[in-house]
Amino acid sequence: MRSVKSSVQGWKTAAACLAVVIVIVVQALGLGAVWPQEPAQPWIEEIAKQEKIYRSRGADVPSGYVTGRALSDYAELLPSGFCDALGRLGSSDRWLDIGAGDGQAILDYYAPEDDAASAEKCAWSWGKACAVAMSIEDRRTDKWQHQAASLGDDRIRYLSGKRLRDYSGEELGKFQIITDVYGGFSYTEDLSQFMEKVLGLLETGGVFYTLVQSVHLENGKDNPNTRYLTELVDAAGRDVKVCSWLKKTACVKVGCESKSDWDTPTELINIRKVCSDVSVPRMKLLKYEAGNPPGRRFQLEP
Ligand SMILES: C[S@@+](CC[C@H](N)C(=O)[O-])C[C@H]1O[C@@H](n2cnc3c(N)ncnc32)[C@H](O)[C@@H]1O
C-alpha cells in the first residue's frame, strides 16, 4: 500500500515538474502564457530544435547556418540600390541589421579605408551612420569588441538575447535603412508581426532590404520542382507570392527582383515606407520545420 502511495506521489511530482518545464520552455521561446494542460502547438518541438541551431557553437553549428557574411556579400544578395542608399547615409542617420550574426557587414562598413575589406565593400559606403546589429544569440567576435571600443560613442551597437518582436519602439528608435540577410524575415514564425515591427521602426522614406529563398517568384519563373521553404496560401489554400502579399500592405512601395537562376528561387525585396499608417495583412502559421532557414507555411487571414 505504502509503495503504491509513494509511486502515485512520485508520478504526481514528475507530472508537476514536467508541467513547470513546459511552461518555462514556452515562456523562454516567447510564445506567451500557455496553460500546461492545453495541448502543445504541433510545431513546438520544431521551435525548440530551431533554438538549438541558434545556440550552436563551434563544430556544432550546422553547415548551412552562415553567420559571418561580409558587406560585399550583402551587396550581392540584397536588392540593387542597397549600397547607394547605405552610401548616402549621414552621421545622424541609423542602420539596423536584423539577424546580423557576427555583425561582419557592420564591421566592414566601419573598416578603415586601407583595410582589405574596404576595397570590397559597397562602393561609396563608409562608416558614417550609427549601425545596430541584432541577433537572437550573441555571436560577437573579438574583432567586434575591439572595433566597438575604438569607435566609442555608440557608433556600432550589438543587441542580443531577444528577438525583434521583444524590443519596444522606444528601445530601438527609428532607422533610415533596415537590412535582413537570412535573418528574422527567413526565420520568424510570425511573418506579419515581423513586417509590422520592421515598418514601425522605419522612418517614413526609409527602406527595408531583404531576401527570401525557395519561394514562389513574382515573375513566375521558379522551377515547379522546387522544395519551397516559405509558402503562403490564401484562405482557399491557393498559393500566394510573398511579393503579392507584401504589396497589400498599406503605406509602402514594394520592389521585387526575382532570381530564378540562383540555386534556389530567391526574391530580393525592397520596401520603402511612404506614410506612417502602416498595416500588414495578417497571416497565421500552418507549418514550421526547423532548419537553416526553416520550412514555413502561412495562411492569409480572410
Ligand atoms: C543565418 S544567420 C545570418 C547572419 C548574417 N545576416 C549573415 O548573413 O551572415 C541568422 C541570424 O538571424 C537571427 N535571427 C533569426 N530570427 C530573428 C529574429 N526574429 N529577431 C532577431 N534576429 C533573428 C539569428 O539570431 C542570427 O543572428
Buried b (16+ CB within 10 A) or exposed e, 159-186: beeebbeeeeeeebeebbbbbbbbbbbb
The CB of 164 under 6 Å from ligand 1? The reply is: yes
Cell 490564401, residue located: 234
DSSP letter (8 states) at residue 294:
P
C-alpha cell at 14: 514528475
Distance CA 101, CA 112 (A): 21
Which is nearest to 158 in space by CA: 183, 138, 185? 138
What's residue 128's pLDDT?
A: 86
- Reported confidence tier of residue 122, pLDDT bands at 50, 70, 90: confident
- When pLDDT is cut at 50, 70 and 90, the band that residue 198 belongs to is very high
- The answer to whether residues 208 and 71 touch, using CB atoms and an 8 Å cutoff, is no
Kindly state if the Cβ of 67 falls inside 6 Å of ligand 1: yes
**pLDDT, the chain, mean:** 87
Calculate mean pLDDT across residues 251-270.
98
What pLDDT sits at residue 133?
98
| Helix (H) or strand (E) run with residue 13 in it | helix 2-28
Counted residue by residue, the chain has a size of 302
Q: Which atom of ligand 1 is nearest to the CA of 180?
A: 6
Protein residue closest via CA to atom 17 of ligand 1? 184
For residue 181 and ligand 1, the question of a CB distance below 6 A is answered with yes
Name the residue of 47, 50, 67, 157 to mutate for ligand 1: max ligand atoms within 8 A of Cβ: 67
The strand pair at 130-135 and 283-289 is best described as unpaired
pLDDT tens by residue, 231-255: 999 999 999 999 999 999 999 999 9
Q: What are the C-alpha distances in Å from 73 to residues 34, 61, 86, 121?
A: 41, 20, 14, 8
Other CB atoms within a 10 A radius of the CB of residue 33 amount to 7
Per-residue confidence (pLDDT) for residue 224, from 0 to 100: 86
pLDDT at residue 213 above 60?
A: yes
- Mean pLDDT over residues 166-182, rounded? 98
Averaged pLDDT for residues 191-200: 98
Distance 101 CA to ligand 1 centre (A): 6
Query: pLDDT value at position 164?
Result: 98
> Would the CB of 98 count as within 6 Å of ligand 1?
yes
